[in-house]
Structure 1
């Protein structure tokens, strides 16, 4: 009996170590926008290609596209922060931000560039941060800027989704970045766009 207990403890310890190793895969923040330069496989060196590379911003901003990988093999998405509405106005007369807070809307465009189907709630993987480093998760609300992002978005390879994600932040907060991570925020790559 004692030998079985020791074996069971050893197995549980090994599984725990494997779980910790699997979870710590080196998460990264992606903030370099896609370049408009020629395909990576082609030779570089023409002045137009070099000019495009040099003019690409160092950090993604509103309007830029980042390519992110998900957890599943073949899961990849081009994500663009299209517009920001700050403050955003409620489209529902009965639903408003809490006292001392405001709504901020971020319009995302998601294009499935991978080989796997995408099925997720995009707002689960979105956050904004202020200049002091405080982060705010997405909330619920319809705004006058346009349609809300679907809460359950399904995209086959090549398909795209477009919609607004709403955040409730303190009235005085100065937002500095918005982030998006696939797989409800659990994927290893997080896209980050500068807001100010």
Structure 2
């Protein structure tokens, strides 16, 4: 192909590309667009904050993820047919003070206490020793059973309880734990701990 022919061909191509402009005289950019960066598409950094999914841990319950805490009620079944309770952790004390000067925690230990309300929602009379149903756990996973003690905050839960259908009982249950233990939860297992279901509440010091 001669040099003259080549020049004419290039000129013709230039005219053709110019003709591809839009009707208002602007040209169409035919270069490929750069790929969008990951931060601009499909990532939290590039997403609109209003469209971002909500953090479920902040809406699941009082402490997130539906965790039960002070004031919450849990329904639990007992070991026998027809036994069912609504168990409420009414108040929590850490530490708890003795009702008198003569009965105090063992040296190096402290008392924690839970005020619990029990309502018989089942079809049978409920008989139990509620302190035997309670235990607390610390941040290390160690568990402590209830102990017999009277505290200044109020009356203790009965150790021999008989609730007819619809009846309720309220009282404090005390546990003795090491002074340095960070108690984090309280458990209630009906029928003296023999039932299959476990109620658990998150608790804190103070």
TM-score (norm 1): 0.71
* 1:3-18 matched pairs, under 5 angstroms: none
Larger radius of gyration: 2
Three-state SS of the structure 2 residue aligned to 1:189 is coil
Shift of 1:56: 4.6
The one of 138, 145, 148 aligned to 1:140? 148
Q: Distance in 2 between matches of 1:78 and 1:163?
A: 14
Does the 8 A contact of 2:61 with 2:68 survive in 1? no
The one of 187, 191, 196 aligned to 1:183? 191
* 1:32-51 matched pairs, under 5 angstroms: none
Q: Deviations over 1:68-125 (max 9, x none)?
A: 0011111100000000111111012211000000011100000000001011100001
Three-state SS of the structure 2 residue aligned to 1:145 is coil
Structure number with the bigger relative contact order (C-alpha 8 A, sep ≥ 6) is: 1
Q: Does 1:79 align with 2:83?
A: no
Q: Does 1:160 align with 2:168?
A: yes
Three-state SS of the structure 2 residue aligned to 1:138 is strand
Q: Which residue of 1 is the match for residue 70 of structure 2?
A: 62
Moved segments of 4+, more than 3 Å: 54-57
* 1:72-151 matched pairs, under 5 angstroms: 72-151=80-159
Q: Distance in 2 between matches of 1:179 and 1:103?
A: 16
The one of 184, 200, 205 aligned to 1:192? 200
Higher helix proportion:
1
Q: Deviations over 1:151-192 (max 9, x none)?
A: 101100100000000000000111110000111000000100
The one of 175, 179, 183 aligned to 1:171? 179
Q: Distance in 1 between matches of 2:80 and 2:150?
A: 31
Q: Distance in 2 between matches of 1:149 and 1:171?
A: 24
Does the 8 A contact of 2:60 with 2:67 survive in 1? no
Gaps of 5+ in 1: 1-53
Three-state SS of the structure 2 residue aligned to 1:124 is helix
